[in-house]
Amino acid sequence: MERNVNESFLKSISKHHYDILKSTKDEEKSFNQLLKEFRLPKRVLRKLLLELVSSGFIFREEKEDLKEYYYLTDLGLNGLKKHETRILKYRTPDTKHGRVKLTK
C-alpha cells in the first residue's frame, strides 16, 4: 500500500470504523458497512484496515501507557469467511509506529 495516503482520510475511516463497531459489536457487519459507505474493494479496505492498525490509528482501549488493539481480522483473500481475531499491543503510544506483539 502506498504510504502517501491522506492522513485525514485515514483518521476519518478509523473513527468511522470505531463508531460502527461500537454500535454493531460485530466485526463482519462493521466491515460490510464500511465497504458500502466508502465504496472500496474488499482487498483495498482490508489492506487499509491493517495499515491503520499498524500505524496506530485504530485502537479501542487505553490502560496507562498500554493501548490494546483488538480489531485485526485475518479475512483471507476470498473475502469474508470464518475469521480469526488477534490482539495487538502497542507499548509506545506516543510514536506513530509502535512495536507490535501479536497474541492469539
Residues 68-95 as b or e (16 or more Cβ within 10 Å = b)? ebbbbbebeeeeeeeeeeeebebeeeee
Domain that holds residue 20: 7-103
pTM for the structure as a whole? 0.40
H or E segment to which residue 90 belongs: strand 87-90
| 78 domain-assigned | yes
* Number of domains making up the chain: 1
| 87 domain-assigned | yes
The tens-digit pLDDT sequence of the chain (104 residues) is 444 455 666 666 766 766 776 676 666 777 777 778 777 777 777 777 776 666 655 554 444 443 433 333 333 323 333 333 333 333 334 334 444 443 33
| 90 domain-assigned | yes
| 2 domain-assigned | no
Do 40 and 49 form a contact (C-beta atoms < 8 A)?
no
| 1 domain-assigned | no
